[in-house]
A and B are shown apart, each in its own frame.
Chain A
Amino acid sequence: MRRNRAENDASHAKLTRRAALLGGAQLLFMGGLGARMRYLQVDQADQFRLLAEENRINIRLIPPARGEIFDRNGVRLAENIPSYRIVMVREDAGDVDAVMARLSQVIDIDLETYEGALEELKRSAPFLPVTIVEGVSWDEVSKVSVNAPALPGVTPEVGLTRVYPRGSDFAHVVGRVGRVSQKDLDALENPDQVLRIPRFQIGKINVEARAEDALRGTAGTKQVEVNATGRVMRELDRREGQSGADLQLTVDSKLQGYVQARLADESAAVVIIDCENGDLAAIASAPSYDPNLFIGGISSANYDPLLNSKYRPLVNKTVQGAYPPGSTFKMMTAMAALEEGLIGPDDTVYCPGHLEVAGRKFHCWKRAGHGWVDLGNSLKQSCDVYYYDLALKVGIEKITAMANRFGLGIRHELALSSVNSGLTPTKSWKKVTRGADWVIGDTVNASIGQGFMLASPLQLAVMSARIATGRMITPRLIKSVDGVEQPLGTGASLNLNDNNLQKMRRAMYEVVNDRRGTGYRSRIIADEWRMAGKTGTSQVRNITAAERARGVTSNADLPWERRDHALFVAFAPFDKPRYAVSVLVEHGGGGSTAAAPIARDVLLQALAGGEPSLSAYPKGDRARIKTQQNRLRDVKPEAAIDGKDQA
């Protein structure tokens, strides 16, 4: 494209004009920059040089005091106690290695701490104070102060440390705090500045973690003028932060302590739920561990045994564990059939000891069979064939729907870590996850809480509370935040046929109080506290035909890992339910022998509000219970807490 010369010249002239204009504007701006340089570097130089040489303005965060956690009666479960620590600022210390060496002559620093601190000093920003040792005594603080001239950049500071006065009782409820890790920061979209304070503590698990936002509070700031050696000359400005909110839990620390002591080192879980409002009176997982060990980092000597124990003390079995509910599930199968009107409570089924379905024999636990059984008898003696029969009539979808109404297969929102939703299988679930069609045998297995069926002890406790009340009880763990009461879990009516529910409760009553009931040995004889319950024994292995021919091997002969789980769900008092409870003993053998006695003890403890009188126990048991009570009274569940233990 050829353009005429005149037009080109005109446009070039315009370009030249505008280029000159824009160039001039640029030069003008540069003149402005130069003037600013002159102002800062020449006119103001003395002032800035003074600021640089003598003083600097430092902005320090004031970490907020973490909210404290109390039990339902105001007993402290997590508190902050003052602790002294020695901190060092790298840029003020100069030769960090030399200062550290001198410091270690003044006070004792073990090698691990020494090297850890040295590494942290080199890694973190030079103006940030790094904690060298925590939990030092007043004596050592004085030593450091006296030697201050030889220790530039080193200052003692007073801070707050988290302490759990109830020790292992609440490790699986309150949880614990720990140093903020990179992982914690990555998990947050916009991490609070306060989290970047070295050694700031953040909730790691359970209530401490789940209620982190309420507990943390907001940081304050102070502007301080410091001199060349980093010493604070004066405080210029201070903005107070806000300390975290206090929490109150629904748990009764006395009862919780008793339950943990009763479980001792058994691999077990107990959940006690208030039938009136869903408050968790106790939620215990055993064995437990002392969360105080984790504050400020746990040593591998302490950690490895916890990690490697086959009893898994770090796992909260009440909510994280999912177990086949076994016979405790039978109430669900029966309720589904009753509500559908497929059977009446008094209709009977013949139990010959097994039921053949689709060419496969499903056995009753009692090989000889129970003969003709109705609802009451089947539950009382825990006949399996009766429930196989009901399940075939009602179908898996109805059973699962009923189980969900009672809180199984539903994730209950609690401020605990890794709350499991259990599993109530359906045909479509199996299709999707297993890629296989539902077979009739699956329904038969599910009817007695085996097969795919899984539930956590928490869910089982909720189930028994719902059976006891006929209402949608939901569990509540946090009673109040900063004095504000949290919503109750009283729940609306389940809208079930009252007659059916009554029959079911009656049958559960007979499980414990009838001479032929599976839980008879664990009955309560005090009339005002009568208990209703159901035993469960869930298989963790398949019984082969060969084994069955030889006679089923008894649990005691099996290695621990292959024994059955023992379960028991109950509520009491029978006529006016106050508490519902679920007990799980991992690989404990039978529900009636391993789990039911625990349920009775903890229920009585809860109902009596302390140690119950022996008269509540059957005569034959009293001597044994007496020694047990004496023994448990001697166990002081409170771990010895003092600063020294943690260092």
Chain B
Amino acid sequence: MSYLEYTVKSVPTGFRKILHLNWPLALLLVSVCGIGFLMLYSVAGGSFSPWAEPQMKRFALGLAIMMAVAMVPIWFWRNLSGVAYGVSLILLVLVALIGEARKGSQRWLDLGFMDLQPSELMKITLVMFLAAYYDWLPAKKVSRPFWVLLPVLIIFLPTALVLEQPDLGTSILLLTAGAGLMFLAGVHWAYFAVVIAAGVGLVTAVFQSRGTSWQLLNNYQYRRIDTFLDPAAEPLGAGYHITQSKIALGSGGWTGRGFMQGTQSRLNFLPEKHTDFIFTTLAEEFGFVGAISLLGIYALIILFCVVTAIRNKDRFSSLLTLGIALNFFLYFAVNMSMVMGMAPVVGVPLPLVSYGGSAMLVLLLAFGLVQSAHVHRPR
């Protein structure tokens, strides 16, 4: 069913739209942000500055954006998705040319009133554009090689630009979210099987060739891979952080040390304690109960998204909702795995909890789209 078939009468209008919002989802999001404020207040040593207060201001702005986006009919956003993708791509190119470099990577654009990270925007607009693409594409063409190659290009272009910054974490997220969307849209299994097999083959070849006459990479490149996979090999780098992060997490126990009672000093060594490693503070102060609760809220958010997506008969809406949910999932899955020593440190924040403007605004905007899809669903 396409949006042209909507019976306009059954779609709520004006302020009645507010009643039709997915309120449980909105409340879950607000509660995650609330946990974020608590943690930022705590890591600052019981102070609203320097992190909690600006984060709350951005949240207020983000909430307003979410509501505004939700009020606009989803077909408007659908028609805009091509433009949105194009603009994000141009911004990424601009970042490469005139972006601001921090900590050795060039990710930010100075807009005057705020610093924008276009790669964050791209996470959403890529999903939007792919959803619109598969909405437009007749179902029988979905698995034809040409129509598979096209979205692959759509994904690779921004991924390459982000990898160039360099920002490994975000490019992995983009790639995975894009592939996930293609999977959801119904691209044939065989494509995924071939790509996975080729990937496994390549990785095996790279490692097998080490030390032989046909070695594929330089020695120093191998050493870099080594440190990436086994951070403990670099005692002062990532390995140190992971060890300390695990200690803090583990020492939380069942119920934790209590709010503001975490041995903050022990975490002060972490340069990213208010961003990428904020989960360790939560887990230390609120223990297993707190950590599993946050995971539970995240799970509920995913669940609500999946359910509304399946119920929604509009193809663009459901693809978009699922794509955004997948994106959100990737954020916290990668972050938590990293903090708990299950994955290499790549620098992905904990969504809606970690300090950071672009990520929060973009996520709330994305959930605004989810709400719009829900409000304007065909009935």
Supposing A26-B302, A26-B326 touch, asked if A221 and B340 sit within 8 A by C-beta, the answer is no
Query: Beyond the given A7-B140, A37-B249, could you list 19 further A-B residue pairs with CB under 8 A, ordered by the A residue number?
Result: A1-B4, A12-B318, A14-B186, A15-B318, A23-B306, A23-B325, A36-B337, A37-B288, A38-B292, A40-B340, A41-B254, A44-B250, A45-B253, A45-B254, A48-B246, A52-B266, A59-B240, A125-B269, A221-B236
Residue of A nearest to B333 (CB): A29
Number of interface residues of A (CB under 8 A): 48
Contact yes or no, B1 A40, CB < 8 A: no
Supposing A40-B249, A52-B251 touch, asked if A2 and B4 sit within 8 A by C-beta, the answer is yes
Among B139, B186, B295, B342, point to the contact of A34 (Cβ < 8 A).
B295
Report Cα–Cα, A51/B284, bound state, in Å.
13
Contact yes or no, B268 A125, CB < 8 A: yes
Contact yes or no, A126 B251, CB < 8 A: no
- For window 18-69 of chain A, which residues contact chain B by CB distance below 8 Å? 18-20, 22-23, 26-27, 29-30, 33-34, 36-38, 40-42, 44-45, 47-49, 51-53, 56-57, 59, 61
Report Cα–Cα, A634/B304, bound state, in Å.
92
Contact yes or no, A41 B249, CB < 8 A: yes
Chain A residues within an 8 Å CB radius of B140: 7
Check B358 for interface membership: any CB of A closer than 8 A: no
Contact yes or no, B254 A59, CB < 8 A: no
A15 to chain B, nearest CB (A): 6
Residue of B nearest to A14 (CB): B186
Among A15, A26, A29, A56, point to the contact of B185 (Cβ < 8 A).
A15
Check B94 for interface membership: any CB of A closer than 8 A: no
Residue of B nearest to A44 (CB): B250
Chain A residues within an 8 Å CB radius of B183: 18, 22
Report Cα–Cα, A42/B244, bound state, in Å.
17
Among A2, A48, A223, point to the contact of B251 (Cβ < 8 A).
A48
B151 to chain A, nearest CB (A): 15
Among B139, B251, B342, point to the contact of A45 (Cβ < 8 A).
B251
Check B265 for interface membership: any CB of A closer than 8 A: yes
Among B240, B266, B292, point to the contact of A37 (Cβ < 8 A).
B292
Supposing A5-B1, A23-B302 touch, asked if A15 and B186 sit within 8 A by C-beta, the answer is yes
Supposing A18-B186, A48-B251, A49-B253 touch, asked if A3 and B268 sit within 8 A by C-beta, the answer is no
A297 to chain B, nearest CB (A): 27
Residue of B nearest to A237 (CB): B235
Contact yes or no, A11 B236, CB < 8 A: no
Task: Please provide the 8 A-B residue pairs with the shortest distance between their CB atoms, ordered closest to farther.
Answer: A48-B250, A52-B251, A41-B288, A11-B139, A23-B306, A45-B253, A49-B251, A91-B265
Contact yes or no, A56 B250, CB < 8 A: no
Check B247 for interface membership: any CB of A closer than 8 A: yes
Supposing A22-B326, A52-B266, A127-B268 touch, asked if A3 and B138 sit within 8 A by C-beta, the answer is yes
Tell which of B121-129, B223-231, B309-317 binds the partner.
B309-317
Contact yes or no, B248 A52, CB < 8 A: yes
Check A309 for interface membership: any CB of B closer than 8 A: no
Contact with A along B311-341 (1 / 0, CB 8 A): 0010100110010011001000100110010
Contact yes or no, A19 B249, CB < 8 A: no
B22 to chain A, nearest CB (A): 16
B291 to chain A, nearest CB (A): 5
Check B298 for interface membership: any CB of A closer than 8 A: yes
Chain A residues within an 8 Å CB radius of B322: 19, 22
Contact yes or no, B266 A36, CB < 8 A: no
Residue of A nearest to B251 (CB): A52
Contact yes or no, B319 A15, CB < 8 A: yes
Check A137 for interface membership: any CB of B closer than 8 A: no
Chain B residues within an 8 Å CB radius of A61: 236
Supposing A7-B139, A20-B310, A125-B268 touch, asked if A37 and B247 sit within 8 A by C-beta, the answer is no
Supposing A15-B315, A16-B310, A221-B236 touch, asked if A41 and B253 sit within 8 A by C-beta, the answer is yes
A82 to chain B, nearest CB (A): 26
A14 to chain B, nearest CB (A): 5
Chain A residues within an 8 Å CB radius of B196: none
Chain A residues within an 8 Å CB radius of B318: 12, 15, 19
Check A8 for interface membership: any CB of B closer than 8 A: yes
A-B contact pairs, 14 of them (CB 8 A): A2-B5, A3-B138, A11-B186, A12-B318, A15-B185, A15-B310, A23-B302, A33-B295, A37-B291, A37-B295, A41-B288, A48-B247, A52-B248, A61-B236
Check A193 for interface membership: any CB of B closer than 8 A: yes
Residue of B nearest to A16 (CB): B310
Chain B residues within an 8 Å CB radius of A49: 250-251, 253
Check A10 for interface membership: any CB of B closer than 8 A: yes
Report Cα–Cα, A57/B269, bound state, in Å.
12
Check B206 for interface membership: any CB of A closer than 8 A: no
Supposing A20-B310, A41-B253, A45-B253 touch, asked if A12 and B333 sit within 8 A by C-beta, the answer is no
Report Cα–Cα, A119/B124, bound state, in Å.
44
Chain A residues within an 8 Å CB radius of B205: none
Report Cα–Cα, A20/B318, bound state, in Å.
12
Chain A residues within an 8 Å CB radius of B246: 40, 48
A94 to chain B, nearest CB (A): 9
Contact yes or no, A40 B250, CB < 8 A: yes
Report Cα–Cα, A59/B243, bound state, in Å.
11
Report Cα–Cα, A47/B247, bound state, in Å.
9
Residue of B2, B186, B337 with most chain A CB atoms under a 10 A cut-off: B186
Check B202 for interface membership: any CB of A closer than 8 A: no
Contact yes or no, A19 B184, CB < 8 A: yes
Report Cα–Cα, A221/B309, bound state, in Å.
54
Contact yes or no, B184 A27, CB < 8 A: no
Chain B residues within an 8 Å CB radius of A34: 292, 295
Check B287 for interface membership: any CB of A closer than 8 A: yes
Residue of A nearest to B342 (CB): A36
A60 to chain B, nearest CB (A): 10
Contact yes or no, A48 B326, CB < 8 A: no
Check B149 for interface membership: any CB of A closer than 8 A: no
Chain B residues within an 8 Å CB radius of A45: 250-254
Report Cα–Cα, A223/B302, bound state, in Å.
43
Chain B residues within an 8 Å CB radius of A18: 183-184, 186
Contact yes or no, B288 A27, CB < 8 A: no
Chain B residues within an 8 Å CB radius of A37: 249, 283, 288, 291-292, 295, 340
Contact with A along B132-156 (1 / 0, CB 8 A): 0000101110000000000000000
Chain A residues within an 8 Å CB radius of B268: 91, 125-127
Among B243, B244, B287, B325, point to the contact of A41 (Cβ < 8 A).
B287
Check B8 for interface membership: any CB of A closer than 8 A: no
Chain A residues within an 8 Å CB radius of B244: 56
Contact yes or no, A15 B184, CB < 8 A: yes
Report Cα–Cα, A125/B240, bound state, in Å.
14
Chain B residues within an 8 Å CB radius of A36: 337, 340, 342
Check B68 for interface membership: any CB of A closer than 8 A: no
Supposing A5-B1, A45-B250, A127-B269 touch, asked if A30 and B306 sit within 8 A by C-beta, the answer is no
Report Cα–Cα, A40/B4, bound state, in Å.
53
Contact yes or no, B253 A126, CB < 8 A: no
Check B27 for interface membership: any CB of A closer than 8 A: no
Report Cα–Cα, A221/B232, bound state, in Å.
13
Report Cα–Cα, A592/B253, bound state, in Å.
88
Report Cα–Cα, A91/B288, bound state, in Å.
27
Report Cα–Cα, A44/B295, bound state, in Å.
20
Contact with A along B254-285 (1 / 0, CB 8 A): 10000000010110110000000000000100
Residue of A nearest to B245 (CB): A40
A530 to chain B, nearest CB (A): 59
B281 to chain A, nearest CB (A): 13
Check B163 for interface membership: any CB of A closer than 8 A: no
- For window 115-132 of chain A, which residues contact chain B by CB distance below 8 Å? 125-127
Among B248, B250, B298, B315, point to the contact of A30 (Cβ < 8 A).
B298
Contact with B along A155-195 (1 / 0, CB 8 A): 00000000000000000000000000000000000000100
Chain B residues within an 8 Å CB radius of A42: 253-254, 288
- For window 71-114 of chain B, which residues contact chain A by CB distance below 8 Å? none
Contact yes or no, A11 B315, CB < 8 A: yes
Residue of B244, B251, B291, B325 with most chain A CB atoms under a 10 A cut-off: B251
- For window 1-41 of chain B, which residues contact chain A by CB distance below 8 Å? 1-2, 4-5
